[in-house]
Structure 1
Amino acid sequence: MNERISTLPVPARQFRVPLSATRRGARLGRLLATEQLLAWGLPLDPARLIVAELAANAALHGRVPGRSFRLALAVTAEGVLRIEVTDARGDALPGPRPAATGPAESGYGLLLVEELADRWGMRQGPVPCKTVWAEIDPAGPSAHFAPGPGNT
């Protein structure tokens, strides 16, 4: 009998929910994430801004008719919040924003994520999916926000 002990870090808290790949699903994801952060006693910002952007991207760029996307939140024992959004478009990878040729109304979302998160990235799989993730470290640079309403 193999009794090896796993050394994988197990999140202290986890939350996962499938959502429809629509604007309504993205909005619901943001609202559910806000409620979960409040239940865990965590600051709302910048996490809810990151969730809003990643969920909106999943609904807009990762949409496959009839398929949902998944929002996952996890907090490690060290207090690092990991936000993951998995969609069904592994072929539509986030990339650099093309040079602006005029007033732009979109395309700045991942720049926002990059500024607000301590780390972020993307991983492919399982086929045909991809996951875009962001982490907020309580001791990292993103912890510069001041407590305010909803941030206590």
Structure 2
Amino acid sequence: MRFTSTPRGARLARRLISHRLNEWGHPYASPANETVTLITAELTANAVRHGHVPGRDFHLRLTETEGSLQVEVTDTRAEKLPSPGIPCPDGESGRGLLLVEALADDWGVAPRPTAPGKTVWAQLRTPAVGRTP
């Protein structure tokens, strides 16, 4: 799905992920739902704060394969690549990717193949409790 590159867009994306995971058999209070929702919150906040290009939206994709959930957030800013760093001890920001790194089983960044921008993705291994075909 596509969302406006605003705090409201990031909030709606996070809520959509939580609802979709619940529909797929990962209840709201389950570790998988809470973890993927938190990862989504961090990635979408970064897309809004660091990947924002006026007039451009960010894209969100959630996939489930046997044994894993993967969330991808794509923005249109290619020159700002995310990397976890050591945040300022008194700072109010700079910890998002450290959380993603701690919570996800794997994560990374890939350039968009057909347009400017990048996709930041995170994967969580979980028991397969997928959608009903």
Please, what TM-score do these two structures have when normalized by structure 1?
A: 0.76
| Aligned CA distance change for structure 1 residues 96 and 49 (closer, same or farther; 3 Å) | closer
- How far is the alpha carbon of 1:99 from its aligned partner? 5.5
The answer to whether structure 1 residue 73 and structure 2 residue 57 are counterparts is no
Partner residue, 1:113: 100
- How far is the alpha carbon of 1:98 from its aligned partner? 5.1
- How far is the alpha carbon of 1:97 from its aligned partner? 2.2
Count of matched residue pairs: 121
| Distance in 1 (alpha carbons) for counterparts of 2:104 and 2:84 | 17
| Aligned CA distance change for structure 1 residues 19 and 31 (closer, same or farther; 3 Å) | same
Is the Cα contact below 8 Å between 2:43 and 2:120 reproduced in 1? yes
Is the Cα contact below 8 Å between 1:91 and 1:128 reproduced in 2? no
Identity between Structure 1 and Structure 2 (%): 50
Helix, strand or coil at the partner of 1:72 = strand
- Kindly name which structure, 1 or 2, has the bigger radius of gyration based on alpha carbons: 1
Partner residue, 2:110: 123
| Distance in 2 (alpha carbons) for counterparts of 1:96 and 1:74 | 24
Helix, strand or coil at the partner of 2:67 = coil
| Distance in 1 (alpha carbons) for counterparts of 2:38 and 2:86 | 23
The answer to whether structure 1 residue 18 and structure 2 residue 2 are counterparts is yes
| Distance in 2 (alpha carbons) for counterparts of 1:33 and 1:99 | 27
Of residues 32, 35, 44, the one that matches 2:19 is 35
Helix, strand or coil at the partner of 1:45 = helix
Helix, strand or coil at the partner of 2:10 = helix
Runs of 4+ in structure 1 displaced over 2 angstroms? 95-100
Q: Any unmatched runs of 5+ in structure 2?
A: 27-31, 128-133
Partner residue, 1:14: none
* Two-structure CA RMSD over aligned residues (Å): 1.3
Deviation per residue, 1:53-98 (Å, 9 max, x gap): 001100110000000000100001x131010000001111012425
Helix, strand or coil at the partner of 1:122 = strand
Specify which structure has the higher proportion of helix.
Answer: 2
